[in-house]
Chain A
Amino acid sequence: MFDVIQDWWVVVLPYVPLLLEAALFVLQITVCVVLLSWVVGLVVALCRASGVKLLEWPARFFIWFIRGTPALVQIFIIYFGLPQFGIKMSPFVAGTLALALNGGSYVAEIIRGGLIGIPNGQRESALALGLSRATAMRRVILPQVVRVIIPPISNEIASSLKNTSLLSTITLMELTLQTEVIVASTFRPFEFYIFTALIYLLMTTTCIYGLQIMERRFAVRY
């Protein structure tokens, strides 16, 4: 055990640039996934809350399906399954899409929770002043929702970041797969997986605390 820790750096150091590069890729994927999942989440949440059955039921089904199935299976459906219907995507596109749909269902529920928390009088007063429903949503309701959902959203971003490791299974050379590859040639799994875990930890922690700071900046002037 002592030996292991002693030559830890000797083993890991040569591979650090490679791992950091993979970590940077993880961040890139995460940014794409998160932005897309917000769009998905907002659309699904608005459909879910629309009161129009034709929009509400597909949204319910989507949330039910995504939350009730493993993310890994969802990734396989999109990357391995869809090509049977002629829909072929690169590992990056398929992976980003799968994780964005997955994250979107969680974001949708977070937004829905935020919407429920806004008193109905807020919407009524907007409509009473002749704002359209869309304008009332955009100018009156959503700005209030944004403030209450920042904490759960930052957790969701951290989840998305961690979920990118699942994309190692569809040959995307992100941090986890990169580590696997290195381990296969160095036979030092403990050192490398611990180091990789620390990189993930650094990224998720930064993201959660970063958002907390942002929240304190923006929130509750009123």
Chain B
Amino acid sequence: MPLDPSPQGGSSTAGPILELSDIRKKFGALEVLKGVSLAVSPGESLAIIGASGSGKSTLLRCVNLFEQPTSGQIRFDGRDIEYGDDLWFWKRERILRDLRREVGMVFQSYNLWPHMTVLENIIEAPLQAGLGRRAEIVGKAEELLQKIGMYEKRNEYPSRLSGGQQQRVAIIRALAMEPKILLLDEVTSALDPELVGEVLELIAQLAAEGVTMLVVTHEIAFARDVSDRTIFVHKGVIEEEGPSAEVLGNPGSEHAQRFLRRVLHPNLKKAAGVSDV
């Protein structure tokens, strides 16, 4: 995997698609993020690792403003994103909606909508956003389904699918909005071990196609083999940052070393199973 980000991710602006500066987040007295800055270039895939409670998920959720940072700057696609309680309600709603239409997010627990078929799940958001005529949107959704080999399942309800299939549908549901960046929040953590591979393969394929992504993961092998860069978060601070091979192979910080020892050992088998991604 080349270390420099591939240029094919589609953004008009030069420079980073996403830039966080000095993001802080407090929950009451507890400061979960203590001044985090990072930049993601178009086409780049960035892995965020760290122990549970380190703040990595909160960091991800700050990007689409599921969590409102206490302070700090979010720059996305060349514009500063306003947030804060002082914004007028409707303006705030519009900012959030517009941001989230361009920032995809996939969750640990898939969260497909059980009352809609696979296809309906995928086309709902693009239809609501008015991304095109219905026929176009359906056509694109079917293409995406074909890409993950699930076209035949388009009229099934999610409950009829395996966890791995549901999560892959959740990923292309997010892609159907043509997001400029995709946030993946521990998307394989809820899966049975034998289903993890198919989901990681899809994400690896997307990374190779130049989809910009920010991936919170426990899969060290995935971070090593797929992500261009890796960030290690410890107690709300980025302790390590750099090319994945370096951060994971030869981390400088003691916390990162200890974390990797702890994580790699019990995961050896799982990691071996997916190293052919």
Binary per-residue interface labels of chain A (139-170) against chain B in the complex, 1 for a CB within 8 Å, 0 otherwise: 11001100100000000000000000000000
- A residues within 8 A CB of B112? 125
A130 and B125 contacting across the interface, CB-CB below 8 Å: yes
Q: With the chains together, A121 CA to B115 CA distance in Å? A: 14
Known: A121-B107, A125-B107, A139-B124. A130 touches B100 (CB 8 A): yes
Say whether A206 faces chain B, with CB atoms less than 8 Å apart: no
Q: How many residues of B contact A (CB 8 A)?
A: 29
Say whether B17 faces chain A, with CB atoms less than 8 Å apart: no
Residue on B nearest A127 in the bound complex, by CB: B100
* Inter-chain CB contacts under 8 Å: number: 68
- B residues within 8 A CB of A128? 64, 66, 100, 104-105, 107, 174
Q: With the chains together, A120 CA to B46 CA distance in Å? A: 27
Say whether A202 faces chain B, with CB atoms less than 8 Å apart: no
Most buried by B among A119, A126, A129, A133: A129
Say whether B173 faces chain A, with CB atoms less than 8 Å apart: yes
A121 and B177 contacting across the interface, CB-CB below 8 Å: no
Q: With the chains together, A63 CA to B89 CA distance in Å? A: 27
Main secondary structure of the interface of A (DSSP, over half): helix
Main secondary structure of the interface of B (DSSP, over half): helix
Say whether A122 faces chain B, with CB atoms less than 8 Å apart: yes
Contact of A222 among B101, B104, B114 (CB under 8 A): B114
Residue on A nearest B64 in the bound complex, by CB: A128
Contact of A147 among B66, B105, B107, B115 (CB under 8 A): B115
Q: With the chains together, A31 CA to B93 CA distance in Å? A: 37
Say whether B73 faces chain A, with CB atoms less than 8 Å apart: no
Say whether B23 faces chain A, with CB atoms less than 8 Å apart: no
Known: A130-B125, A130-B177. A125 touches B97 (CB 8 A): no
A129 and B177 contacting across the interface, CB-CB below 8 Å: yes
Known: A135-B128, A221-B157, A222-B158. A125 touches B177 (CB 8 A): no
Binary per-residue interface labels of chain B (96-110) against chain A in the complex, 1 for a CB within 8 Å, 0 otherwise: 111011101101010
Most buried by B among A124, A125, A143, A221: A125
A222 and B125 contacting across the interface, CB-CB below 8 Å: no
A140 and B113 contacting across the interface, CB-CB below 8 Å: yes
Known: A124-B107, A222-B158. A131 touches B125 (CB 8 A): yes
Q: With the chains together, A147 CA to B101 CA distance in Å? A: 29
Q: With the chains together, A43 CA to B46 CA distance in Å? A: 44
- A residues within 8 A CB of B107? 121, 124-125, 128
Most buried by A among B125, B159, B173, B174: B125
Q: With the chains together, A132 CA to B105 CA distance in Å? A: 15
Say whether B1 faces chain A, with CB atoms less than 8 Å apart: no
- B residues within 8 A CB of A130? 97-98, 100-102, 125, 128-129, 177
- B residues within 8 A CB of A133? 93
Q: With the chains together, A221 CA to B114 CA distance in Å? A: 9
B113 and A129 contacting across the interface, CB-CB below 8 Å: no
B174 and A129 contacting across the interface, CB-CB below 8 Å: yes
Distance of B173 from chain A, by nearest CB (Å): 7
Distance of A44 from chain B, by nearest CB (Å): 20
Binary per-residue interface labels of chain B (192-210) against chain A in the complex, 1 for a CB within 8 Å, 0 otherwise: 0000000000000000000
Q: With the chains together, A132 CA to B77 CA distance in Å? A: 21
B114 and A132 contacting across the interface, CB-CB below 8 Å: no
Distance of B75 from chain A, by nearest CB (Å): 19
Q: With the chains together, A132 CA to B100 CA distance in Å? A: 10
- B residues within 8 A CB of A126? 113, 125
Say whether B74 faces chain A, with CB atoms less than 8 Å apart: no
Residue on B nearest A132 in the bound complex, by CB: B97
Q: With the chains together, A129 CA to B107 CA distance in Å? A: 12
A121 and B111 contacting across the interface, CB-CB below 8 Å: yes
Say whether B119 faces chain A, with CB atoms less than 8 Å apart: no
- A residues within 8 A CB of B174? 128-129
Contact of B115 among A129, A131, A144 (CB under 8 A): A144
Residue on A nearest B105 in the bound complex, by CB: A128
Residue on B nearest A147 in the bound complex, by CB: B115
Say whether B238 faces chain A, with CB atoms less than 8 Å apart: no
B111 and A124 contacting across the interface, CB-CB below 8 Å: yes
Q: With the chains together, A130 CA to B98 CA distance in Å? A: 7
Q: With the chains together, A122 CA to B115 CA distance in Å? A: 11
Residue on A nearest B102 in the bound complex, by CB: A130
By a beta-carbon cutoff of 8 Å, the part of chain A in contact with chain B is: 119, 121-122, 124-133, 135, 139-140, 143-144, 147, 221-222
Pick the 3 closest A-B CB pairs, nearest first.
Answer: A130-B101, A125-B111, A222-B157
